[in-house]
Structure 1
């Protein structure tokens, strides 16, 4: 009823907020009731991975991306109309801001279409484009709002927009850092599977230790064989040297006699 009372196209931004919130809440409720995710703060993408919530999530988020595109285009036309009399921003800057926003809407469509576990690389790229472009878009809109003061905006509204932009920028950095540290392969781990994972890790460590000990033992045996061979060679050389000296001593008198004759 409230949306119907709004003049012109003013209902579109409000409809966008209501529809997007409903998309997240409905898919979350279905995923929790189906036992696909834990109730305590799951990832948004986790609530749209498995059917039936994946169908609801994909459909509603695609509608949200469409509504967001319409909202951004309306904002673009509004700034163009205001700029005709005030000239507070370049038209090229306004167009660039619109293109950045539409890029974020495209990322939303990619996230909705390619599920988290089905095509994770494409899903992650879509999420990066959606969130990154969204942060840039709201920051640019905040700057434009300041430029349009005091005729078309109040400083109070501009401060609120810039605060939201700052929070979004700060939140975007740890999201990228933590997302790069994990590799999502499944979302419903059970205690038994976690125990199997620890046992497998323990077995791998023990196997690695045994392999290291075996390699050390083999190296020790090779070193000992080389030492024995060297000792044997030295012993043979000693024997040959002793025999040579003995023969030389024994033959020396005969040699001396023959030279005297």
Structure 2
């Protein structure tokens, strides 16, 4: 295979994590400096309610969603190339879950809660919900990989992060149902709890994304000869390829045949006095 154009696709999930973290920190700093949010734990959506952080948040969220779409499509191609036992329908389903997560985050970034509460909550639910579900499906695929294709510590780490991401979705309904039944919840405490859980969910997504670099390092881009050729392919040296069997070692056995002179052979009508050798190659 010819030398590929790009072999550093593993940097994409790391770039997404660093980019998103820095952008959240900058948005928080701007909003806090201008007095647009409370000093403690605000809602993530509050980082983009007023200018100038609103424009900054929308722009950075768009870039984050584009990078995330690229990562999820590369995961789709990785499973297609390296895990043929995964059905095409299941692979497409996982890709759709990931894309819905990107759409949800973009929706939550562009639709403020003051403009449309339903639209903003729908975007947030899709973003966090489908993002966590997508990571869970990818974690299951990784757990079912063969022993030489996975790291036990990475299995535990991914499972832990999946549980961490799922905590808000278990706790949110519990808080709301409890408050509806008791009718005695402190509004401030409930708001702080929901904000904290929202940041925990985001922290889980940020912690899981870099682990995709382990799969994407086995992918590379190549320059297709025509539009029908695939421009994403395996690397020449891949850590996910099964170990190739050793080449058989040829063992050469030489046997020598000596035929006796004619005067020493009894009972033969036309003996021939020759000496010769033949070579037998045995594969071990």
TM-score range, shorter chain: 0.5 to 0.7
Which residue of structure 2 aligns with residue 31 of structure 1? Answer: 31
1:55-204 equivalent positions in 2, closer than 5 A? 55-84=55-84, 87=85, 89-178=86-175
Query: Helix, strand or coil for the counterpart of 1:38?
Result: coil
Q: Which moved more, 1:98-107 or 1:171-180?
A: 171-180
Specify every segment of 5 or more residues in structure 1 that has no aligned partner in the other structure, as ranges: 1-5, 183-261
Structure with larger Rg: 1
Cα offset for 1:171? 2.2
Which residue of structure 2 aligns with residue 196 of structure 1? Answer: none
8 Å Cα contact 1:149-1:155 kept in structure 2: no
Distance 1:114 1:178 in 2: 25
Distance 1:82 1:157 in 2: 18
TM-score (norm 2): 0.58
Give the alignment's Cα RMSD to 1 decimal: 2.1
The structure in which a higher percent of residues are strand is: 2
Distance 1:103 1:179, change over 3 A: farther
Cα offset for 1:42? 1.0
Distance 2:176 2:124 in 1: 11
Distance 1:42 1:163, change over 3 A: same
1:241-252 equivalent positions in 2, closer than 5 A? none
Deviations 1:153-211 (A, max 9, x none): 222211211111112112222234557879xxxxxxxxxxxxxxxxxxxxxxxxxxxxx
Query: Helix, strand or coil for the counterpart of 1:151?
Result: helix
Which residue of structure 2 aligns with residue 44 of structure 1? Answer: 44
Which residue of structure 1 aligns with residue 13 of structure 2? Answer: 13
Which residue of structure 2 aligns with residue 212 of structure 1? Answer: none
Cα offset for 1:50? 0.9
Cα offset for 1:121? 1.7
Specify every segment of 5 or more residues in structure 2 that has no aligned partner in the other structure, as ranges: 1-5, 181-284
Distance 1:118 1:40 in 2: 24
Distance 2:145 2:36 in 1: 48
Distance 1:36 1:76 in 2: 40
The structure in which a higher percent of residues are helix is: 1
